Amino acid sequence: MRVSGQQGGLTALAVAGSYVVLLGWDMSAQQITDDNILGFAIQRTRKSDGEVIWLKGMKTFASVEPTPAPGVPVSSFKHPFQTFQWSDYSVAPGSEYHYQIVAMKGPADALMSGDTVQLAVVTEPVDNGEHAIFFNRGAIASQEYARRFHNASPAEIGDAAWKWLSRGLLEGLEKFIAQAEKGDELHGAIFEFKNSRIYDALHRAADRGVQVSVIYDADSQRESNEKHLAHSGIQALVHPREHSGRYMHNKFFVWRRQGVSQQVWTGSTNLSENGIFGHSNNAHIVRDSRVAEEYETYWQLLLQDLTRGPTAKKVETITAAPPVPWQEEVSCVFSPRTSLQALEWYAKLAAGAERGLFGTFAFGINALLLPAWDRTDDVLRFALLEKKGTGSQYKQQAAEIDRIRKHPNVTVAVGQNLVLNAFDRWLKEIESPVEQTHVTWIHTKYLLIDPLGPEPIVIVGSANFSAASTDTNDENMLVIKGNPAVADVYLGEFMRLFSHYAFRESVARNQQRVVAGAVSPKYLYETTQWIDAASGYFVDGSDRALRRRYFSGQ
């Protein structure tokens, strides 16, 4: 849901996903200077119970609070945000909230309210009947986890920590499985199949007469999968995929009733402890018989366990990429394929972004996609990466990331933990719920093309936007066109994690300033210097200037 408003010289926009409300606003530099605006405060009222709070940040005015408590946020009413964008991460799905964005006039020790915009939104439900979208917390390396659970491991804390980290993702899959009744079918294809709760859910389904059949990766994950499956009680319900090109990298289930495919559950989530609770992952249910039936046809092909070549030829008879004509809201793309045409399609869509382009990449940006970010123009271009590159190509890929970062409209964040005492206001963080991980932070795979436009495009699934994920591995993707509600959810989650890791990376880049284990904390400006040219907020073509206008709805 998107709501905009204006009062006096202040313009604002709220974009409500399920668990995130993005807030953007704008005011002219002249008015900020003339009215001595030292920042913006945000008040939120929750309709359900009338609770009123001021959103909080970490920076303070030195003259007002010189020694804030470590890890404790402060009210924006006393210490306003010196930015044009903020997000509320404490909302609940399907709920109404009223926001007031208030321009705060100085001096710092006697702030007064100026122009105020009021915005009322209803957050998107996790499940709207057609689409259900789940994101785990994906932020065990976070200040919020450290505050809630005193930086102890989830195994030490127990159910409260696991539930907080899952954020409904695991529970959503359990519910998906639980809806199947006697005579129904559940067909799955899972790369890492190592979760006892899902084993139990499938076992219960089989006991009530559901025909359960799951394909698991028996190439790279065979030993690990079969070690876990040996104690699962569902050995009779599973089948190894032994002859994929490299990885049977899918993660999906199809639910069928009376011989008709009804729904599909898919996404980036491996059914492992770290996949569900550790690094960032998503799941997406589509309730569309056409889409589900295409997944079922693909699943039946995988069950034959053919090698890559024959599989690729048959895959292209199930789905075209790009589809011609492109008429459906949801298009499916399966791999392996005989060429890179699907990846070239994604690259073309990304290059056609008119205002905003957002992408998550686990292992660098593929050469076909890179040109969509490697340009200076008036399009906001964001990339969120687990790492700059991988393997023998790391040096080249890292250099490419460093190059595109030089474009003023391109912003890149790379996964990073916040080092203890890098700033004296922040708390120590842990990295992962498990000791050894292949991916620590970013495991989602999605592109957002003009998400705030009239016809947003969301590309999401299991594939890493790589050549191998297109012509070698077993993969699945959804291309969703023209659904603002879906785009709003994905955009909110993207910015949640982007902001999270962009801050951590900025800390890492400043480590050379660490003296005796700490650096001096940053304070808010007590004059309108916060909008000077160095900030970039009013420098034409800069990422901050573009963000100021884009997220305020202009």
Residue range 252-257: average pLDDT?
Answer: 98
Does 209 share its domain with 346?
A: yes
**pLDDT exceeds cutoff 80 at 53:** yes
Q: Is residue 51 part of a domain?
A: yes
Least confident among 283-292, 328-337, 428-437, 447-456 = 428-437
Residue range 250-275: average pLDDT?
Answer: 96
pLDDT computed for residue 27 by the predictor: 98
User: Is the sign of the CA dihedral 333, 336, 338, 339 positive or negative?
Assistant: positive
pLDDT computed for residue 358 by the predictor: 98
**pLDDT exceeds cutoff 70 at 219:** yes
pLDDT computed for residue 433 by the predictor: 60
Of the two residues 150 and 495, the one the predictor is more confident about is 495
pLDDT computed for residue 506 by the predictor: 61
Q: 414 falls in which pLDDT band (50, 70, 90)?
A: confident
Cβ neighbour number for residue 156 with a 10 Å cutoff: 10
Q: 487 falls in which pLDDT band (50, 70, 90)?
A: very high
Of the two residues 523 and 436, the one the predictor is more confident about is 523
**pLDDT tens digits, one per residue of 120-159:** 999 999 999 999 999 999 865 577 787 788 878 888 899 9
Distance, CA of 67 to CA of 64 (rounded, Å): 9
What percent of the chain has pLDDT above 70? 91
Does 64 share its domain with 138?
A: no
**pLDDT tens digits, one per residue of 154-213:** 888 999 999 999 999 999 999 999 999 999 999 999 999 999 999 999 999 999 999 999
User: Per the structure, how many domains does the chain have?
Assistant: 2
pLDDT computed for residue 434 by the predictor: 54
Please name the residues in contact with 397: beta carbons below 8 A apart, sequence gap of 6 or more. Answer: 364, 365, 388, 389, 390
Does 76 share its domain with 206?
A: no
Does 142 share its domain with 224?
A: yes
Q: Is residue 517 part of a domain?
A: no
Please name the residues in contact with 432: beta carbons below 8 A apart, sequence gap of 6 or more. Answer: 140, 141, 274, 278, 279, 440
Domain enclosing residue 396, as ranges: 131-506
Q: 69 falls in which pLDDT band (50, 70, 90)?
A: confident
Distance, CA of 114 to CA of 25 (rounded, Å): 14
**pLDDT exceeds cutoff 60 at 534:** yes
pLDDT computed for residue 392 by the predictor: 76
**pLDDT exceeds cutoff 70 at 43:** yes
Where is 234: in which H helix or E strand? none
Does 144 share its domain with 114?
A: no
Question: By the 8 A CB rule, do 397 and 480 touch?
Answer: no
Least confident among 148-152, 342-346, 417-421, 482-486 = 417-421
Average pLDDT taken over every residue of the chain? 91
Please name the residue that has the structure tokens 């340009």. Answer: 375
* Beta-bridge mates of residue 286: 131, 264
pLDDT computed for residue 514 by the predictor: 46
**pLDDT exceeds cutoff 60 at 508:** no
Does 27 share its domain with 116?
A: yes
Of the two residues 508 and 347, the one the predictor is more confident about is 347
User: Is the sign of the CA dihedral 7, 10, 11, 13 positive or negative?
Assistant: negative
Does 33 share its domain with 176?
A: no
As a residue count, the chain comes to 554
Distance, CA of 321 to CA of 331 (rounded, Å): 9
Residue range 308-330: average pLDDT?
Answer: 97
Distance, CA of 39 to CA of 86 (rounded, Å): 12
pLDDT computed for residue 386 by the predictor: 79
Q: Is residue 528 part of a domain?
A: no
Q: What is the DSSP letter of 280?
A: B
Three-state secondary-structure class, residue 306: coil
Does 83 share its domain with 225?
A: no
Q: Is residue 153 part of a domain?
A: yes
Of the two residues 422 and 525, the one the predictor is more confident about is 525
Residue range 366-379: average pLDDT?
Answer: 96
**pLDDT exceeds cutoff 90 at 396:** no
Distances (CA, A) of 167 to 89, 134, 140, 468, 470: 12, 8, 12, 31, 30
Question: By the 8 A CB rule, do 42 and 102 touch?
Answer: yes
Q: Where in 222-317 does DSSP place strands (E)?
A: 238-241, 251-257, 260-267, 282-286
Question: By the 8 A CB rule, do 537 and 548 touch?
Answer: yes
Does 206 share its domain with 266?
A: yes
Q: 509 falls in which pLDDT band (50, 70, 90)?
A: low
Q: 432 falls in which pLDDT band (50, 70, 90)?
A: low
- What the block records as the tokens of 55 is 């959103």
Distance, CA of 285 to CA of 264 (rounded, Å): 6
Q: In CATH, what number is assigned to the domain containing residue 39? A: 2.60.40.10
Question: By the 8 A CB rule, do 216 and 241 touch?
Answer: yes
Q: Is residue 374 part of a domain?
A: yes
Report residue 267: phi and psi, to 5°: 135, -155
pLDDT computed for residue 420 by the predictor: 46
Q: Is residue 524 part of a domain?
A: no
Q: Is residue 31 part of a domain?
A: yes
What percent of the chain has pLDDT above 90? 80
Cα 308 to chain centroid distance, Å, stands at 31
Q: 88 falls in which pLDDT band (50, 70, 90)?
A: very high
**pLDDT exceeds cutoff 60 at 411:** yes
Residue range 450-456: average pLDDT?
Answer: 97
Does 26 share its domain with 144?
A: no
Q: In CATH, what number is assigned to the domain containing residue 434? A: 3.30.870.10
Please name the residues in contact with 540: beta carbons below 8 A apart, sequence gap of 6 or more. Answer: none
pLDDT computed for residue 518 by the predictor: 47
Report residue 310: phi and psi, to 5°: -60, -35
Question: By the 8 A CB rule, do 101 and 84 touch?
Answer: no
Does 250 share its domain with 325?
A: yes
Does 139 share its domain with 259?
A: yes
Cβ neighbour number for residue 520 with a 10 Å cutoff: 9
**pLDDT exceeds cutoff 50 at 422:** no
Least confident among 106-115, 215-224, 361-370, 451-460 = 361-370
Question: Given strand 21-26, what is the order of strands in its sheet?
Answer: 2-7, 10-16, 21-26, 85-88
Cβ neighbour number for residue 209 with a 10 Å cutoff: 11
Question: By the 8 A CB rule, do 217 and 190 touch?
Answer: yes
Distance, CA of 42 to CA of 12 (rounded, Å): 11
Q: Is residue 20 part of a domain?
A: yes
Closest CA to 356 of 444, 280, 456, 282: 456
- What the block records as the tokens of 482 is 């023209």
Distances (CA, A) of 381 to 90, 398, 450, 471: 26, 17, 10, 27
